[in-house]
Amino acid sequence: MKRFQFDSTALRYFLTVVDTGSVNGAAARLNVVSSAVSRQIAGLEQRLQNQLFERHPKGMRVTEVGRILADHARRVEADAARTYAEIGGQHGRFTQTVKIAGAHGFAAQALPPKFAAFQAEHPSVRFNLTILDAGLVTERVRSAQADIGITYSHAAEKDIAVIFARPAEIIAVMRPGHPLAGSGAQRVTPLLLTQLSAYPLALPESGSALRRVLDMASSLYNTTLSPAFTSNHPEAVYHYLLTGDAVTLCARLTAAEHLASGRLACRPVDDALLNGGQIQVQTHVSRPLPDAAQRFLRFLRSDTPALF
């Protein structure tokens, strides 16, 4: 088998083009001339005998071969950083940063207090939290851009290990006093998906994990759920609900803070497909985690009921 190594500079330049979407953007970030970036990309393409980018007037779009190389390059970077941190940790010199990708809503609310509690015992550990749409969280873990992912998922994912999980109850959320909010015992009576079509809907954008499942469910019941408002940010949706009779669907954990305060009301939804998803803590199935990330996972595992 032919063996060769990639030049670290070429990989760094390549990843910067992937991240910025253009040679000029990469050159500006790297503080080099554009021709230097172009030479490195051309060299990689010649060596691999494959095109890494599709060139468009508005930028560079990574090809499937480029995506494979980007995943490799990010793994190399992550492994190098982990090794460097572990060697430095033997002498107590270096801090370690745990990179976490989390889905909108519950991750932003539940994780920061956990970071602070963990750092009280491990002051040398730093955390970086990136909030994304649920499907993008898994991709961050797969491509080594995150050590740990916390997200909503409805199916097994390639190259992903689920460390722990719990069912993600999907609820209908609306303003207090909404016709569907009910009162007393009615508040715990599940709604049918078909009941929602009589009201304006505020939903996640097309392509999100929940929206895909919701579209599948509505198709099964031959009903059309046409949103009056879409957004990739839950807070924008919640503000929209307060102004009228709109309803949204989300995981209960996502809206937990607003429900506890009484700012919003909710009803359970009677649908096995919608409620078949999970809130998951994910890692890569084969890539070793940095020591700090392993310790934080153990901390989370011991405190799972409080987290979820």
**Stronger pLDDT, 177 or 308, i.e. the higher one:** 177
In a domain, 78, yes or no: no
Q: Which of 152, 173, 168 is nearest to 263 (CA)?
A: 173
Whether the CB-CB separation of 73 and 67 falls below 8 Å is answered with no
In a domain, 124, yes or no: yes
Whether residues 128 and 103 fall in one domain? yes
Whether residues 162 and 283 fall in one domain? yes
Whether residues 209 and 237 fall in one domain? yes
CATH number at residue 155: 3.40.190.10
CATH number at residue 246: 3.40.190.290
CATH number at residue 15: 1.10.10.10
- Output the pLDDT for position 89: 57
Give me the domain span that covers residue 210: 170-276
Specify the pTM: 0.69
Q: At what angle do helices 34-48 and 64-89 cross, to 10 degrees?
A: 110
Contacts of 235-239 spanning 24+ positions with Cβ under 8 A? 237/202, 237/203, 237/204, 238/173, 238/263, 238/264
Check the CA dihedral 102-104-105-109 and report its sign.
positive
Cα–Cα dist 107/120, whole Å: 20
In a domain, 34, yes or no: yes
Whether residues 150 and 295 fall in one domain? yes
Whether residues 33 and 176 fall in one domain? no
Residues 72-82 have a mean pLDDT of: 73
Quick: pLDDT tens for 13-46: 888 888 888 888 888 888 888 888 889 888 888 8
Quick: pLDDT tens for 152-191: 887 788 889 999 888 888 899 999 999 998 777 667 889 9
In a domain, 73, yes or no: no
In a domain, 2, yes or no: no
Band (pLDDT 50/70/90 cuts) for residue 1 is very low
Whether residues 12 and 52 fall in one domain? yes
Residues 102-112 have a mean pLDDT of: 83
> What's the total number of domains in the chain?
3
Cα–Cα dist 211/249, whole Å: 9
Whether residues 299 and 202 fall in one domain? no
Whether residues 208 and 270 fall in one domain? yes
Residue 184 structure tokens: 């007393």
Whether the CB-CB separation of 273 and 125 falls below 8 Å is answered with no
- Which run of H or E residues covers position 180? none
Whether residues 284 and 157 fall in one domain? yes
Q: Which of 297, 291, 267, 307 is nearest to 111 (CA)?
A: 307
Residue 109 structure tokens: 């609310």
In a domain, 86, yes or no: no
In a domain, 297, yes or no: yes
In a domain, 41, yes or no: yes
pLDDT at 87 over 80: no
Band (pLDDT 50/70/90 cuts) for residue 239 is very high
Whether residues 189 and 222 fall in one domain? yes
Bridge partners of 250? 171
Q: Which of 3, 35, 5 is nearest to 13 (CA)?
A: 35
Cα–Cα dist 210/134, whole Å: 8
Whether residues 154 and 108 fall in one domain? yes
Q: Which of 68, 86, 103 is the last residue of a domain?
A: 68
Band (pLDDT 50/70/90 cuts) for residue 128 is very high
pLDDT at 7 over 80: no
Bridge partners of 202? 229
